[in-house]
């Protein structure tokens, strides 16, 4: 779960990390009032969760009311990399001499948190990591002790941060780790952490991503998620409603299966046999008939879909429940919207085959045959 | 002819009074697994799935000589349940639970460096030695006895590949689902080492997926250490970067690490053929054993 910039900044500011004065606005008047109160120059920043907002025209630095009006009109309501901009953050511009990067993330290879500091802030840190890995100082943290004060200092000195601000940067890094730890962060980042000419540090951006699996013990953040919701397209919202792991792709062969690895494999086979996957949809383990029917509804909602392959290998998912769900979803149509190919294996597959209404679907025995058939149907559907 | 689990394994099921725990304890017993006890705080003295329930794992070990635990505890409490197993010095703990907070697993991961207990999972289907015993939720009927070791990050993909093997008469020594989370106990390298050292395993299937660098590390290990022939499969070739494909661990990062190409080429460089389909994986195993 990703917090919006304004939410992450609030969390950071509450913990004592210096942030610029800012206000949230959702219309032009709101932007002008906020800018007046904060004092020009200000930055007007689109509140959508995509990287590279600046380059995409989602951030404007403005000197006066006229520029602020122009920026507000162009940014509010714009489409930024597929996301509709409803809100902007109006923020006092910081006069900086240096831009740093500080971040905490989980190093999955090591199974440990890692703190990172770099003097190459203000640019895409993943590019820095690729082109100049030495420019990022890393310090692994033992999660049973937390970050020792010396580790924060070491990361800051190793990165070559100017001595005049080293103490303040260490302090920001320490606070950031505590937040990451207390709030079940997956990533906590400040990029850039700006340094002013009088040696103050200030967080000009804020990233705080939370481990979805831990939201049950972070009620305050779960509430923020609800507030931040509404992003994403219609299909993604529907997937959220149904609680599916769903990813929309570009192709026209719809895919439904159980278990992430098997669904990914089904996608790969569609590609292997010359088709193009329309989506990833994992119904999860132990899905009952309702959920199976919802999955079909989900995939039929995508206009690009010309055929559907339903691939279930039951472990805790039962073939009879799957068959019931498929019947339930398809019997409500006078005409089946798109051809559906079904392959059932594993737990109760024979019971499932007895229940399944074979007038409504095409049945195949193996994964390979089912995928090839669905790809054929998709090609015919497109023609 | 197996690793980690056989018909001598004495199992305590943590969470045996819950729906999943009870159902799968019964299924395990039906398959022949020696389930000797359950452990559920506050439920000591009861009986579930026909075995005595204790309040603590410690008691289950004292009273019933359990040496292995299988964990069906809800995610909020599963980290604690794993710690209980590790601190009781069991030989093996198998965590089936999906959705354990990553920071809890980082603490478990630290503890694992200080104990001899092996952890499988979490978020895994468990493991099975066909004809002897299974620990977890794998459907026993698709497996058959034989000499192919299998290790996989994904549950249902394991079943698919096992089905392809079994249909050709290629039975399995042991199949291990190591789980799809970013932080897991036993990884590919650990499982490969077990199979390499098992005289009854003559070929190995390794099913990986996008995300992380475990498959690359496994390839390096195979190159250095493994003489048993290995065939691979990598799920997620068509996954776009930055999108999580179901498993918390299955994501190609923006900077391009964790891609299928990188994993396949690392495996190929280590002499491991990687099938384009599960059927092709079975082809390779058939060739190895011909």
pLDDT higher than threshold 90 for residue B279: yes
Q: Tell me how crowded residue A30 is: count the other CB atoms within 10 A of its CB.
A: 17
**pTM assigned to the model:** 0.92
Please indicate, yes or no, whether residues B89 and B156 belong to a single structural domain of this protein.
no
pLDDT higher than threshold 80 for residue A347: yes
Tell me how far apart the alpha carbons of residues B232 and B214 are, in angstroms, rounded to a whole number. 13
C-alpha distance from B148 to closest chain A C-alpha (Å): 20
Q: Does A113 touch chain B (CB under 8 A)?
A: yes
Please indicate, yes or no, whether residues B101 and B146 belong to a single structural domain of this protein.
no
Please indicate, yes or no, whether residues B192 and B284 belong to a single structural domain of this protein.
yes
Q: Give the residue on A whose Cα is nearest the Cα of B245.
A: A260
Say which CATH number the domain at B184 has. Answer: 3.40.50.261
Please indicate, yes or no, whether residues B282 and B167 belong to a single structural domain of this protein.
yes
Name the burial class of residue B279, with classes exposed (0-12), middle (13-18) and buried (19+) by CB atoms within 10 angstroms of its CB: middle
Condensed to tens digits (0 to 9), the pLDDT of residues A16-37 reads 999 999 999 999 999 999 999 9
Q: Are B84 and B12 in contact (CB under 8 A)?
A: no
Residue ranges of chain A that CATH labels 3.30.470.20? 96-228
Select from B71, B92, B120 the last residue of a domain.
Answer: B120
- pLDDT, mean over chain B: 94
Please indicate, yes or no, whether residues B90 and B191 belong to a single structural domain of this protein.
no
Q: Do B277 and A368 touch (CB under 8 A)?
A: yes
Asked whether residue B133 is domain-assigned, the answer is no
Asked whether residue B151 is domain-assigned, the answer is yes
Mean pLDDT across B130-159: 95
Condensed to tens digits (0 to 9), the pLDDT of residues A179-219 reads 999 999 999 999 999 999 999 999 999 999 999 899 999 99
DSSP A92: E
Tell me how far apart the alpha carbons of residues B25 and A50 are, in angstroms, rounded to a whole number. 45
C-alpha distance from B251 to closest chain A C-alpha (Å): 11
C-alpha distance from A143 to closest chain B C-alpha (Å): 6
Please indicate, yes or no, whether residues B48 and B85 belong to a single structural domain of this protein.
yes
Provide CB contacts within 8 A for B32, sequence distance 6+. Answer: B7, B131, B132, B133
Residue A66 annotated among the catalytic residues of the structure: no
Q: The domain A234-382 is classified under which CATH number: 3.40.50.40, 3.40.50.300, 3.40.50.261, 3.40.190.10?
A: 3.40.50.261
| pLDDT score at B254 | 59
Q: How far apart are the first and last CA of chain B?
A: 20
pLDDT higher than threshold 60 for residue B1: no
Asked whether residue B195 is domain-assigned, the answer is yes
Please indicate, yes or no, whether residues B175 and B235 belong to a single structural domain of this protein.
yes
Cis bond upstream, residue B20 (ω within 30): no
Shortest CB distance from A260 goes to which of B138, B238, B246? B246
C-alpha distance from A154 to closest chain B C-alpha (Å): 22
Q: Which of A91, A189, A276, A364 is catalytic?
A: A189
C-alpha distance from A142 to closest chain B C-alpha (Å): 8
Residue ranges of chain A that CATH labels 3.40.50.261? 234-382
| pLDDT score at B45 | 96
Select from B120, B155, B189 the last residue of a domain.
Answer: B120
Q: Give the residue on B whose Cα is nearest the Cα of A257.
A: B156
Tell me how far apart the alpha carbons of residues A59 and B261 are, in angstroms, rounded to a whole number. 36
Tell me how far apart the alpha carbons of residues B226 and B203 are, in angstroms, rounded to a whole number. 11
Asked whether residue B2 is domain-assigned, the answer is no
Half-sphere exposure of A383 toward its Cβ, with a 13 Å CA cutoff? Answer: 6
Select from B120, B148, B176 the last residue of a domain.
Answer: B120
Asked whether residue B3 is domain-assigned, the answer is no
Please indicate, yes or no, whether residues B103 and B153 belong to a single structural domain of this protein.
no
Q: What is the ipTM of this complex?
A: 0.91
Shortest CB distance from A264 goes to which of B213, B236, B255? B236
Helix (H) or strand (E) holding A358: none
For residue A315, the chain B residues in CB contact (below 8 A) are: 125, 137-139, 155-156, 159
Total tally of structural domains belonging to chain B = 2
Q: How far is CA B9 from CA A218, A269, B33, B71, in A?
A: 39, 39, 7, 15
Chain centroid, CA A271 distance in Å: 25
Please indicate, yes or no, whether residues B185 and B261 belong to a single structural domain of this protein.
yes
The CATH code that applies to domain A96-228 is: 3.30.470.20
SS (H, E, C) chain B: CCCCCCCCCEEEEECCCCHHHHHHHHHHHHHCCEEEEEECCCCCCCEECCEEEECCHHHHHHHHCCCEEEECCCHHHHHHHHHHHHHCCCCEEEECCCCCCHHHHHHHHHHHCCCCCEEECCCCCEEEECCCEEEECCCHHHCCEEEEEEEECCHHHHHHHHHHHHHCCCCEEEEEECCCCCCCCCCHHHHHHHHHHCCCCCEEEEEEECCCCHHHHHHHHHHHHCCCCEEEEEECCCCCCCCCCCCCCCCCCCCCCCCHHHHHHHHHHCCCCECCCHHHHHHHHHHHHC
pLDDT higher than threshold 70 for residue A334: yes
Q: Which of B24, B58, B247, B284 is catalytic?
A: B247
Q: Do B183 and A108 touch (CB under 8 A)?
A: yes
Please indicate, yes or no, whether residues B152 and B236 belong to a single structural domain of this protein.
yes
Domain of B222 in residue numbering reads as 139-289
Q: Do B246 and A245 touch (CB under 8 A)?
A: yes
Interface of A with B in 152-211 (CB under 8 A): 181, 184, 186, 211
pLDDT higher than threshold 80 for residue B274: yes
Shortest CB distance from B277 goes to which of A143, A269, A277? A269
Shortest CB distance from B247 goes to which of A260, A277, A313? A260
Condensed to tens digits (0 to 9), the pLDDT of residues A38-82 reads 999 999 999 988 777 888 899 999 999 999 999 999 999 998 887
| pLDDT score at A96 | 95
Residue A101 annotated among the catalytic residues of the structure: yes
Q: Does A219 touch chain B (CB under 8 A)?
A: no
- Buried/exposed code over A221-230 (b: 16+ C-beta within 10 A; e: otherwise): beebbeebee
Q: Does A272 touch chain B (CB under 8 A)?
A: yes
pLDDT above 90 coverage of chain A, percent: 80
Q: Do A315 and B156 touch (CB under 8 A)?
A: yes
Tell me how far apart the alpha carbons of residues B167 and B144 are, in angstroms, rounded to a whole number. 10
Q: Are A247 and A278 in contact (CB under 8 A)?
A: no
Question: What residues form DSSP beta bridges with B145?
Answer: B172
Condensed to tens digits (0 to 9), the pLDDT of residues A116-128 reads 999 999 888 888 8
Shortest CB distance from B159 goes to which of A269, A272, A313? A313
Please indicate, yes or no, whether residues B62 and B153 belong to a single structural domain of this protein.
no
Q: Do B160 and A285 touch (CB under 8 A)?
A: no
Please indicate, yes or no, whether residues B88 and B196 belong to a single structural domain of this protein.
no
Residue ranges of chain A that CATH labels 3.30.1490.20? 20-92
Q: The domain A20-92 is classified under which CATH number: 3.30.1490.20, 3.40.309.10, 1.10.10.10, 3.50.50.60?
A: 3.30.1490.20
SS3 A145: coil
Per-residue pLDDT band for A232 (boundaries 50, 70, 90) equals low
């Amino acid at each position: 779960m990703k917090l919006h910039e304004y939410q992450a900044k609030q969390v950071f500011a509450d913990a004592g990390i210096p942030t610029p004065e800012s206000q949230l606005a959702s219309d032009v008047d709101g932007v002008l009032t906020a800018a007046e109160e904060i004092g020009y120059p200000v930055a007007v920043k689109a509140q959508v969760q995509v990287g590279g907002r600046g380059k995409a025209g989602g951030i404007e630095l403005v000197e006066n009311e006229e520029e602020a009006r122009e920026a507000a009109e162009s940014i509010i309501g714009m489409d930024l990399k597929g996301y509709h901009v409803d809100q902007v953050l109006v923020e006092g511009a910081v006069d900086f001499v240096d831009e740093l990067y500080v971040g905490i993330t989980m190093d999955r290879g090591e199974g440990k948190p890692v703190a990172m500091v770099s003097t190459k802030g203000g640019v895409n840190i993943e590019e820095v990591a690729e082109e100049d890995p030495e420019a990022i100082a890393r310090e692994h943290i033992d999660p049973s002790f937390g970050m020792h004060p010396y580790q924060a200092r070491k990361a800051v000195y190793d990165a070559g941060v100017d001595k005049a601000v080293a103490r303040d940067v260490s302090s920001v890094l320490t606070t950031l780790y505590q937040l990451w730890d207390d709030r079940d962060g997956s990533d906590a980042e400040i990029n850039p952490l700006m340094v002013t000419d009088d040696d103050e540090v200030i967080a000009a951006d804020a990233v705080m991503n939370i481990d979805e699996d831990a939201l049950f013990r972070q009620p305050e953040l779960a509430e923020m998620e609800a507030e931040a919701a509404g992003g994403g397209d219609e299909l993604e919202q529907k997937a959220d409603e149904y609680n599916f792991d769903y990813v929309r792709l570009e192709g026209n062969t719809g895919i439904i299966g159980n278990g992430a690895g098997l669904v990914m494999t089904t996608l790969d086979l569609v590609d292997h046999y010359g088709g193009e996957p329309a989506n990833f949809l994992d119904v999860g383990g132990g899905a009952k008939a309702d959920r199976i029917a919802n999955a079909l509804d989900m995939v039929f909602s995508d206009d690009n879909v010309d055929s559907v392959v339903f691939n279930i290998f039951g472990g805790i998912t039962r073939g009879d429940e799957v068959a019931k769900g498929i019947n339930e979803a398809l019997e409500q149509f006078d005409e089946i919207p798109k051809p559906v190919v079904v392959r059932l294996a594993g737990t109760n597959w024979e019971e499932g085959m007895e229940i399944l209404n074979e007038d409504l679907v095409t049945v195949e025995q193996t994964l390979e045959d089912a995928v090839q058939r669905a790809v054929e149907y998709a090609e015919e559907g497109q023609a | 002819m197996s690793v980690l689990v056989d018909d001598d394994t004495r199992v305590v099921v943590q969470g045996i009074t819950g729906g999943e725990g009870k159902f799968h304890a019964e299924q395990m017993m039906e398959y022949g697994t020696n389930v000797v006890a359950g452990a559920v705080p506050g439920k000591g003295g009861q009986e579930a799935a026909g075995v005595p329930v204790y309040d603590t794992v410690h008691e289950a070990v004292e009273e019933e000589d359990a040496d292995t635990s299988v964990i069906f505890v809800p995610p909020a409490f599963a980290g604690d349940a794993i710690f209980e197993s590790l601190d009781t010095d069991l030989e093996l703990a198998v965590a089936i639970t999906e959705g354990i907070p990553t920071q809890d697993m980082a603490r478990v991961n630290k503890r694992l460096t200080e104990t001899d207990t092996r952890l499988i999972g979490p978020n895994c289907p468990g493991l099975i030695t066909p004809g002897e015993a299974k620990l977890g939720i794998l459907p026993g009927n698709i497996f058959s006895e034989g000499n192919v070791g299998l290790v996989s990050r994904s549950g249902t993909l394991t079943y698919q590949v096992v089905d392809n093997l079994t249909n050709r008469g290629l039975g399995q020594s042991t199949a291990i689902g190591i789980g799809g989370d970013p932080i897991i106990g036993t990884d590919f390298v650990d499982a490969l080492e077990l199979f390499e050292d098992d005289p009854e395993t003559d070929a190995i299937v390794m099913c990986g997926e996008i995300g992380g660098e475990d498959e690359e590390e496994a390839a390096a290990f195979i190159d250095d250490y493994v003489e048993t022939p290995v065939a691979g499969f990598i799920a997620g070739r068509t996954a776009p970067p930055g999108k999580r494909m179901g498993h918390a661990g299955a994501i190609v990062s923006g900077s391009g690490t964790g891609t299928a190409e990188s994993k396949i080429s690392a495996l190929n460089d280590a002499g491991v053929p990687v099938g384009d389909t599960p059927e092709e994986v079975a082809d390779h195993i058939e060739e190895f054993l011909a």
